[in-house]
Structure 1
Amino acid sequence: MSVNQPVTANSWQRFCRGRKLDFWTVVIGIAFVTLALFLVFPFSSTVLRSFMTESGKLSFEHYIDFFRLPYYYRTLFNSLSVCVTATILASLVGLPLAYITARFNVWGKKLINLLIIMSLLSPPFIGAYSWILLLGRSGLITKWVQTFGIELPSIYGWLGIVLVFTLKFTPFVYLYVSGALGSIDRSLEEAAANLGMPSWKRLLTITFPLILPTILSAALMVFMSSLADFGTPMLIGEGFKVLPVLVYEEYMSEIGGNAAVASTLSVLIILCATAVLLLQKWVVGRKNYTMSALRPPEVKALSAGPRLLLTACCFAFSLVAVLPQIVVVVTSFLKTNGPIFVPGFSLESYTTIMYKLSRNIANTYAYATIAIIIMVLGGLLLAYVIVRRKSKATNLLDILIMFPYVVPGAVLGITLLVAFNKPPLLLSGTWMIMVVAYVIRKLPYTIRSSAAILYQIDPSIEEASINLGVSPMKTFFKTTARLMAPGVFSGAILSWVTTINELSSSVMLYTGRTATISVAIYTEVVRNSFGTAAALASILTFTTIISLLIFYRFSGGKEISL
């Protein structure tokens, strides 16, 4: 082509074909550039900042201080103690609960599942706040048992954090294990039964070992979620500090100065989370757990007595897990006199938040809507290239996308602030940095649910469309994307609910103009404005319920995928 020859559409297409620059290559390229800018660059900046002294020199000073000063290294032990204990307790409760509902004909399974999902998708630190209302120094239960001369242990500190984490994250174990128990081939258990093995031994030596990867995945989710939680220990820790709280306090005390200590703590949190993730993968990788589920296990019919007992146990946990949300909703309608609740019911708290905090409510839904649109489109495209265009590049892309799974929200907020607090890309203090944080944190949900359903779609459907002359891009949007819609919808609902409830990253990134409902709940609780905090939390609870009902309505009763 001569220098003066105009570039026509055909010549551009030939240019692209010669270099294999098709639509999906462009998608992969844009994905890498975006992740490099908003994920790799921020975390690299944070790691570099952790090695910088106040004078700008490279040094291990902050890491040495962390392992030298008890104030810092005890926080690491505090975090590990609550996370490990909560993980063990959640597993001990969630495993039998999942087994009972999966293998026996208990009553009300759908309602039990709905209550457990509701407890998992509750607004931020609502559990801690509710248990303070119930078991705090002036709590309803505390005062009631005191009339009998009984003194309950304090809800504040290590015990309270572990209690809230256990109740909050047991649903992870329940939902993961329930699905896995339904995919076991019952012939394995039947063979052991025919050899005379008692049922409890079959459970411990065959059933649970077969689903060990799922159990470990659930335990990993509990550990990661406990490690990342900021609101609960901040609210009821009372001097018992964990790493996310320390990160927040260190960064807030260094605004306008050196954030190297907060960066150092952030790096250490990521290293701890990554080490646990690698340990889980190593344990799972030592054995082969593949099996064919040609004969799924049957649900065992129980007689009236045992059936009633097991149903009562399941509902007892479900109601205790969802009790914090019930307490908050009821509290939101109580009359208040400053920070004190007085007898009677009123809509005063709702009137107050509509007058004073309407911007927070509008921000929450606006940011979540923008984020979910990006996540749905990104989930469709990225799931496709990861599943259908397998290569070293897409494998690396998959790893980068899933990396935020091991990153607490407060740490993500620190990394974004460190990276984008000066020109040429000044995002700190804007609504855009909030949306970026939400997309990075929640995109994996949409990616995973989209990829799961894509594996079930026969590639020959796309090939037939392309053979008829339809371009790969049009084939994707007209055929494949429509078939992927149910999976995308599942992940999008989960992303939407968790986004409107997001606190840990929001509390690091917000300003007065960009604050969300979660941030407002936190600040109202800190100010002892419990009525308005309950009203705000109730709005999130009602939104979550409506979102779940919409999902069940359009998915035909399908369970939400984690």
Structure 2
Amino acid sequence: MNIHSLRSLKWVSGSLALFLLAILVLLPLLLIFWTSIYPDRQLDLAAPLRTILGNPDLLQVLLNSVGLGVSVIALTTVFALPLAWIMAKTDLGRHAWLDVVLLIPFMTPPYIGSMGWMLFMQTGGYMEQFVPAAAVLTPYFFSYGGMVLIMSLHLFPFLYLLLRNALLQIGGSLEEAASVHGAPFFYKFKRVIIPLLLSSYGLGALLIFVKTIAEFGTPATFGRKIGFYVLTSEIHKYISSWPIDFGKATSLASLLLGVCLVMWYIQTIISSRFSYRLVGGKGIRSKRHPAKGIVGVLSWGYVVVLLAASIGVPYFSIVTASLLKLRGEGLSWGNLTLRHYAELLAPGSPGQQALLNSFGLALVASSIAVILGTWFALTIGKAGTLRQKITDLFSLLPNTVPGIVLVVGLILFWNSRWMPIPLYNTYGMVVLTYVVLFLPYTVQYVKASYGQLDPALMQAGQIFGGTPAYVFRRILLPLLLPGMAAGWMMTFTISNRELVASLLILPPSMQTAATYIFAQFEQGAVAMGMAMAVISVGITTALLLVIQYVSPDRKRRHS
């Protein structure tokens, strides 16, 4: 194959990738806007705003969503900033296992974590059984503040990782320069550290805001209990409850997407004004302070308290609830049983079928996503051309818009009368939705691996007579496998726990582990729901550990 033919093949492949992304991602989003501004077959650009402003309840729901997003950003900052400082600037950062443990809150499905907190703090809950005087805290917890606390404990790892990496890049020389000129600690923090952190903080705050206002599980469980409703719960209501009202659902979805775009614009302004080059040819020398004495006590105390709140409390409630014979009997050895697990895993039981459905859907979706994601990542390359940049933007869209908005767009698109492929309300629709929602993970992981490769490796293979197919199979593909495996694992894990998309698009009589858990909570069978949560999370974690153990990247590190 000559150079001209190879370039033509790359152009066709890149154009086809862009066209496919436009169909999978862009058209469903555009269809939401079109449906929201074209009610009753008449163009009305102000229809979404009129829907909200004409209904005081929906206006309050919009304000609730925005206020909740801002409040969660504030509290996650309180949690994440001291933790990032501790892990970047003290000896505690050398404990690599802490970084793994600190990711557990994010890997826990939000609706399960919120149910764990509710069981712990409710009247007659586990907290009161241990400390009866704690009953005075129950009304304060079941409030707006409690909801912000639960969601912040789930999302703070996002912001923590971004801030910690930014602090490590700052290094110790800049702080020492300020100290040499007589700057005290708080002055250095205000004039040196904060400006250098603002770019990373802006990106983290955007992610926290989008994930907060896009969250469905916690508002559907905790929010409903305290009477606090947000846009996601209202969109779900208009789509899943009779009478179906796609007009209001698309109006709310378009406004939700608009709010996220405004936040994205604010974040780009912050990043452009507070971006600095911190990595140069001299390298980075990060100064760590010994965690001894009062510094060590305070640092370890903060980490332990945060881990107890984000992991200890919810998982204690989850495991305990799954083992109780009767909830009214309270905690006692005689009230513990494994009967719920046996009933759940009984051959042919609804619980076993839901588990098999979840793992089957996640397996197929993650396998398709890793193939498409690798193709898109190789097409994007270094994003040097306009087409590559647009492809990169389209591939990231599912990660920057609320998931429920994209799901509504996919329903509208694939359920259209003119759609020649009858995909809606089928197994294939579920797989397609999972692939579209979580495709950015594979694209980003593979793109990161590809960006680290020296083009000389592929050129050497071509010089020694290797065809493009041979070079791809024997050189490029083995080097991309770690990124592909990471993308596959992330897609599999999140697909296996996905709730809102599953509730909206699953065919009738079909359940996944997430919808089974949600249904058990709705019906009051908390023990069965928690048993399913333990099994689902446990199997997924064990599978990921096995894949990580046999991965080529691990073998190279230990060879």
TM-score by length of 2: 0.90
Matches within 5 A, 1:6-405: 17=4, 20-22=7-9, 24-53=10-39, 55-59=40-44, 60-106=46-92, 109-142=95-128, 145-147=131-133, 150-238=136-224, 239-253=227-241, 258-292=245-279, 294-323=283-312, 324-336=314-326, 343-354=334-345, 355-388=349-382, 390-405=384-399
Letter in 2 for 1:176: L
1:393-443: CA deviations, max 9, x gaps? 111111111111222222222111111124522222111111111111111
Once the two structures are TM-superposed, the CA of residue 390 in structure 1 deviates from its matched residue by 2.8
CA distance in 1, matches of 2:287, 2:555: 20
CA distance in 1, matches of 2:125, 2:337: 21
CA distance in 2, matches of 1:126, 1:542: 14
CA distance in 2, matches of 1:299, 1:556: 28
CA distance in 1, matches of 2:533, 2:105: 13
Once the two structures are TM-superposed, the CA of residue 388 in structure 1 deviates from its matched residue by 4.2
Matches within 5 A, 1:415-494: 415-421=409-415, 422=417, 423-494=419-490
SS at match of 1:240: coil
Distance 1:519 1:157, change over 3 A: farther
The equivalent position to 2:517 in structure 1, one of 521, 546, 549, is 521
Contact 2:126–2:317 at 8 Å: present in 1 too? no
Aligned residues: 543
Distance 1:62 1:286, change over 3 A: closer
Contact 1:118–1:544 at 8 Å: present in 2 too? no
Letter in 2 for 1:485: L
Matches within 5 A, 1:499-518: 499-518=495-514
1:61-119: CA deviations, max 9, x gaps? 45312122111111110001111001111012101101101211138833322221111
CA distance in 2, matches of 1:302, 1:450: 37
Letter in 2 for 1:313: Y
Letter in 1 for 2:41: G
Which stretch of structure 1 is more off in the superposition, 341-350 or 305-314?
A: 341-350
CA distance in 2, matches of 1:545, 1:246: 33
CA distance in 2, matches of 1:42, 1:340: 49
Once the two structures are TM-superposed, the CA of residue 125 in structure 1 deviates from its matched residue by 0.9
Letter in 2 for 1:411: V
1:434-453: CA deviations, max 9, x gaps? 11111111111121122222
SS at match of 1:419: helix
Letter in 1 for 2:42: K
SS at match of 2:109: coil
Which stretch of structure 1 is more off in the superposition, 126-135 or 485-494?
A: 485-494
Letter in 1 for 2:163: V
Once the two structures are TM-superposed, the CA of residue 167 in structure 1 deviates from its matched residue by 0.4
CA distance in 1, matches of 2:105, 2:133: 31
1:191-249: CA deviations, max 9, x gaps? 11222222333233222322322222111111111111001011111321100001001
Which stretch of structure 1 is more off in the superposition, 37-46 or 56-65?
A: 56-65
CA distance in 2, matches of 1:361, 1:428: 22
Contact 1:430–1:514 at 8 Å: present in 2 too? no
Once the two structures are TM-superposed, the CA of residue 284 in structure 1 deviates from its matched residue by 0.7
SS at match of 2:335: strand
TM-score by length of 1: 0.90
Distance 1:273 1:108, change over 3 A: same
What is the Cα-based RMSD across aligned positions, in Å?
2.7
SS at match of 1:424: coil
Contact 1:375–1:446 at 8 Å: present in 2 too? yes
Structure 2 residue aligned with 1:413: 407
Letter in 1 for 2:154: K
Contact 1:333–1:345 at 8 Å: present in 2 too? yes
Unaligned 5+ segments in structure 2 are none
Unaligned 5+ segments in structure 1 are 1-12
SS at match of 1:125: helix
Identity %: 24
SS at match of 2:422: coil
1:497-538: CA deviations, max 9, x gaps? 222111121111113344211111111111111011101111
Once the two structures are TM-superposed, the CA of residue 128 in structure 1 deviates from its matched residue by 1.1
